[in-house]
Amino acid sequence: MIWAYLYNIVFYASCGVTVVATLLMISRHNAVHALLYLIVSSLSLAIIFYLLGAAFAAALEVIVYAGAVMILFVFVVMMLNQGQRSAALEAAWLPARGWIIPSILAFILLTLLLLGMNSEHPLQPYGVHGVAVKDVGIALFGPYVLVVELASFLLLSGLIGAFHIARKMPSHMDQNTLDEAGNG
Amino acid sequence: MDNQYIDHAIILAGILFCLGLVGVMVRRNLLFMMISIEVMLNASALAFIAAGSAWGQAEGQIMFLAVITLGAAEVAVGLGLTLLLFRHHNSVDVDQLNKLRG
């Protein structure tokens, strides 16, 4: 039946896009290019999560990985390139060949998405035991409430740790940094 | 029930984990190493999701939530450390960052 073929196509094409994007990502010389490939890799993994019956996890993958984590990386890439050479770097960062392959991969993903949505039977998890979000929520706040508490501890300590580590140093350190930036 | 998609998702998770491991070992830029660690976390999350789907249990997605929480905290602290190292040494090359009190 055509529905299973469609599922096959979308699943294996997403797997292929994930592997290709990850391979290209670890072989880039430029951090921004690698981030573009990481976004594509996260998006295609989200499609695989959905096809495996975990729609909530797919949404979280897009929001957290392709959204929040990527914002953090982009911020740090911007902060690591301060000074005079940043303008030249900006121009060198995104030539056409830098974004055209991630765009092609993302276009493949969009095609897969439309393919799954536009058929007579919208693509659904097939042959797997899908777990409803309601069951996940009930389990999360029932027997696994300790995981929620641990996650909140972890995020709070991560927040405080990141703030403490990355804040501006006192005056003499700042002076050193300014001198080095001026020399470089 | 035997399902080829579960098997292939687990294989994909193994491939992604190996790619992330190769990235951590090959790249000498701290930023790229962090990105590769993200790929490895993604791979383990995929393995959890696939296992949860295979058994029809909610635990897979609960562990997924734990994994992405861990990933978010790791990225926040790791990128803070990267920024600090860059401010001290003006470099994120791990071959140059080989002294603890350098």
CATH number, domain containing residue A14 = 1.20.120.1200
Query: Residue range A121-143: average pLDDT?
Result: 78
Quote the pLDDT of residue B17: 95
Q: How far apart are CA A141 and CA A106, in angstroms?
A: 36
Give the closest-approach CA distance of A146 to chain B in angstroms: 11
Quote the pLDDT of residue A184: 44
Quote the pLDDT of residue B38: 93
Query: Residue range B14-32: average pLDDT?
Result: 91
Predicted confidence (pLDDT) per residue in A100-130, tens digit: 888 888 888 888 888 777 766 666 666 666 6
CB contact under 8 A, A41 and B35: no
CATH number, domain containing residue B80 = 1.10.287.3510
Q: Is B10 on the interface with A (CB under 8 A)?
A: no
Q: Domain limits at B67?
A: 4-89
Task: Judge whether residue A1 has pLDDT over 70.
Answer: no
Q: Domain limits at A27?
A: 2-128
Residues for chain A: how many in total?
184
**Residue at token pair 């940043």:** A86
**What is the residue-wise DSSP string for B21-81?**
HHHHHH--BHHHHHHHHHHHHHHHHHHHHHHHHHHT-THHHHHHHHHHHHHHHHHHHHHHH
Q: Is B44 on the interface with A (CB under 8 A)?
A: no
Same structural domain for residues A136 and A124?
no
* pTM of this structure: 0.83
Confidence of residue B10 (pLDDT cuts 50, 70, 90): very high
Same structural domain for residues A83 and A95?
yes
Predicted confidence (pLDDT) per residue in A44-102, tens digit: 999 999 888 888 899 999 999 888 898 888 888 888 775 556 556 666 666 666 778 88
Here the ipTM equals: 0.89
